[in-house]
Structure formats: structure tokens, C-alpha cells
Chains A and B, each alone.
Chain A
Amino acid sequence: GAGVSQSPSNKVTEKGKDVELRCDPISGHTALYWYRQSLGQGLEFLIYFQGNSAPDKSGLPSDRFSAERTGGSVSTLTIQRTQQEDSAVYLCASSLAQIQETQYFGPGTRLLVL
């Protein structure tokens, strides 16, 4: 079956612009996660959705970052007024509600802020 998909795969933007990153989880996976991975760094947790609600937003680095999920499926991560330090790979993962320890990742969106 289809895995987690993300779009765009690459995004180059200018400092100060807004960007939207999209994630399509595996069908039937109610849990969805966003992470950020910078060069040489581990995975930095950003936000977690269970269904359409986000019980844990603790990882969002600033109020320029927001995310939503609609219909218990697609999620969008929005970064407003992008800064150069936002440049990273943004990864989305999904899992079954019952086995949330096993997450399935998408290929990521590589964001470069000039």
C-alpha cells in the first residue's frame, strides 16, 4: 500500500516569505507527527496529532510555526516569515493509534531559506 507522502520534496524560498508543507499519512493511521532534521542533528519533534487535535505542540520552535490536520488525514505545516535558521528537512510520520511507538516516515521536504 501507499506510504506516507510529503510535498513539495524541495522548497527554496526567500527570507520573510511564508511556506506550507503538506503530509499525507498512511490510510487508517490516526496519529501524525512532524519532525525537523538539520544537518548533523537528530530528529527534533515539532508537533503530534491524534485525529484532528494536537495534544502536544511542545516542539514548535516559535509562534511562526503552526500546523493543522483536517479530516483525520492530511496535515499542513506552515512557517510564516521564514528565517535562514528554518532551513532543514521537515519529516512527517504516521502511526496506528494502538502502536504509536512504530512510526512510518515520509521522504521529507527539504526547505532552503535564502
Chain B
Amino acid sequence: QKEVEQDPGPLSVPEGAIVSLNCTYSNSAFQYFMWYRQYSRKGPELLMYTYSSGNKEDGRFTAQVDKSSKYISLFIRDSQPSDSATYLCAMSSGGSYIPTFGRGTSLIVHP
């Protein structure tokens, strides 16, 4: 079992839909949780960064962490075609500076 599991998709949704992207993990030491967005032929771009459990909102994006279930989510409201990209989750423990990345979920938002 990989430390971080992420469905590769693709996930195809109509414009305006609410998108839910998820990752599960097995290492209970993870405390820091990140979401990156990667457009085709570009490097990953940090979207959200959360510490421990709870929700964090930034515009149309909400990151949610449930440490008891070892499950994290990224919600995108009012999705736009410009949101079409691969979304990677990443997480790390306090003792390691090297995050563990999921494989990424490909999201397609069609007009």
C-alpha cells in the first residue's frame, strides 16, 4: 500500500459544478497537508497549505483534513474551465522536510 493514495481520474465535470478531490494516507505522523495544481507542461503550484485537522478556505477553494480517517479533500466551488489541471496532494510529518506526494488527479472542467 502506498503511503498516499490518490485517484488519477480523469474527473470530468461541467462548468459551475462543485468538485471534490480526495487523498487517503496511511502514515499517522503526517501533520502538514498541501494541495498543488499543475497545468500541462508546467511545474506544480502551491494552492493550499493546512496544518492538522479542520477546514481552510481560500476563495473558491476549501481544503479539509480529517486526521481520524486519514483523509483529505479539496473542494472547488463554481468550477471554471481554467481549473482544468492535475491536482496533487502532498503531506509531511514534522520530522521530515520531504513531502510525500500523491500521483495527482486530472480534472477537466468543460464549458
Q: Which residues of A pack against B, CB within 8 Å? A: 4, 31, 33, 40-43, 45, 48, 50, 56, 91, 93, 100-108, 110
Instruction: Determine whether the beta carbon of A105 is less than 8 Å from that of B34.
Output: no
The distance from the CB of B43 to the nearest CB of chain A, in whole angstroms, is 4
Instruction: Determine whether the beta carbon of B103 is less than 8 Å from that of A41.
Output: yes
**Chain A residues, Cβ within 8 Å of B101:** 42-43
The distance from the CB of A30 to the nearest CB of chain B, in whole angstroms, is 11
User: Number of contact residues on B: which range applies?
Assistant: 20 to 34
**17 extra A-B contacts, CB within 8 A, seeds A106-B43, A107-B42:** A4-B43, A31-B97, A41-B103, A42-B88, A42-B101, A42-B103, A43-B88, A45-B98, A56-B98, A91-B43, A91-B44, A101-B32, A101-B99, A104-B46, A105-B44, A107-B41, A110-B41
**Chain A residues, Cβ within 8 Å of B98:** 33, 45, 48, 56
Instruction: Determine whether the beta carbon of B43 is less than 8 Å from that of A105.
Output: yes
Proximity bits, B60-98, A CB within 8 Å = 1, else 0? 000000000000000000000000000010001000011
Can you list 21 A-B contacts with CB-CB less than 8 angstroms, sorted by A residue number? A33-B98, A40-B103, A41-B103, A42-B6, A42-B88, A42-B103, A43-B88, A56-B97, A56-B98, A91-B43, A101-B92, A102-B49, A103-B99, A104-B46, A105-B36, A105-B43, A105-B44, A106-B43, A107-B41, A108-B42, A108-B43
User: For residue B36, which residue of chain A has the nearest CB?
Assistant: A105
**Chain B residues, Cβ within 8 Å of A108:** 42-43
**Chain A residues, Cβ within 8 Å of B8:** 40
